[in-house]
Amino acid sequence: DTGVSQDPRHKITKRGQNVTFRCDPISEHNRLYWYRQTLGQGPEFLTYFQNEAQLEKSRLLSDRFSAERPKGSFSTLEIQRTEQGDSAMYLCASSIVPGQAYNEQFFGPGTRLTVL
Amino acid sequence: AQKVTQAQTEISVVEKEDVTLDCVYETRDTTYYLFWYKQPPSGELVFLIRRNSFDEQNEISGRYSWNFQKSTSSFNFTITASQVVDSAVYFCALSETLTQGGSEKLVFGKGTKLTVNP
């Protein structure tokens, strides 16, 4: 399967713990995006990488959140000192630089985080 | 700021009924893209359609059809002869140009939960 993959698919943690999620984009896709989806809402943009450079961060991304894409391939999203409000589905998407009039974003299956 | 409004939170229909999901958007951009995604209970977003702001032609794909009207900033989605397998949450989304890197982010509505009963 050559789609976007995310690991783990589910994570349950206690408040105050740190968690890290991984996203593997489609091979050769140089753009990578993180979105967060809370219950009953649509996904909301968190941050975006072009290769290894993090080019934009939403104000939703508090200081407790950090994302990296060290070699321009996979990305990690870490949440420190988790809070119950962090419970959500974290979605990763990737796209490829133009070429095309529009760079379609392909989504992974998501990581569902539950903070107890 | 860009905004997508899906006023219908939940819709319930009986199989074989036609159903229309509404989407209204706001944008500053002169060029933009509109999307519909399906999210079944498994959670993965399934891409259904992308529409360029310069192309107002309606589109039909099997039982699915889309009506894009720039004059009313609407991009509505109709399922004809609905089936139980159509039950899912449907999201309308709008592209918003990011300030750096030349890419776009997607701005999603809150979704409409469609339940098709046998």
Report pLDDT digits (tens) over A33-51: 999 999 999 999 999 999 9
Closest of B50, B24, B89 to residue A89, by C-alpha:
B89
In chain B, residues with a C-beta closer than 8 Å to the C-beta of A4 are none
How far from A7 is each of A22, A58, A113, B104, CA to CA, in Å? 5, 22, 11, 25
Whether the CB of B3 is below 8 Å from some CB of chain A: the reply is: no
CB contact under 8 A, B103 and A103: yes
pLDDT in tens, A78-102: 999 999 999 999 999 998 876 555 6
Spatial separation of the C-alpha atoms in residues B107 and B25, rounded to whole Å: 10
The shortest CB-CB distance from B44 to any of A42, A44, A110 is to: A110
pLDDT in tens, B16-37: 999 999 999 999 888 888 999 9
The phi and psi torsions of B3 (rounded to 5 degrees) equal -150, 140
In chain B, residues with a C-beta closer than 8 Å to the C-beta of A89 are 43
C-beta separation of A39 from A101 below 8 A = no
B100 vs B112, which has greater pLDDT? B112
In chain B, residues with a C-beta closer than 8 Å to the C-beta of A56 are 98-101, 105
CB contact under 8 A, A31 and B101: yes
Q: For residue B30, what are its two tokens?
A: 């002169």
Q: What is the mean pLDDT of chain A?
A: 92
38-77 in chain B: CB under 8 A from chain A:
42-45, 47, 50, 52
pLDDT band at A74 (very low <50, low <70, confident <90, very high): very high
**How does DSSP assign A29-92, residue by residue?**
--EEEEEEE-TTS--EEEEEEETTEEEEE-TTS-TTEEEE-TTSS-EEEEESS--GGG-EEEEE
CB contact under 8 A, B93 and A42: yes
pLDDT band at B88 (very low <50, low <70, confident <90, very high): very high
Indicate the range of A6-15, B6-15, B40-49 predicted with least confidence.
Answer: B40-49
pLDDT value of residue B100: 65
Q: What is the mean pLDDT of chain B?
A: 91
pLDDT value of residue B60: 86
- Other beta carbons less than 10 A from residue B46's beta carbon: 13
What 8-state DSSP symbol labels residue A15?
T
**How does DSSP assign chain B, residue by residue?**
--EEE---SEEEEETT--EEE--EEE-S-SS-EEEEEEE-TT---EEEEEEETT----EEETTEEEEEEGGGTEEEEEESS--GGG-EEEEEEEEEE-SSTT-EEEEE---EEEEEE-
Distance of CA A47 to the CA centre of its chain: 8
Q: Is the pLDDT of residue B48 over 70?
A: yes
The shortest CB-CB distance from B43 to any of A56, A89, A104 is to: A89
pLDDT band at B42 (very low <50, low <70, confident <90, very high): confident
List Cβ<8 Å contacts ≥24 apart for A64-71: A67/A34, A69/A32
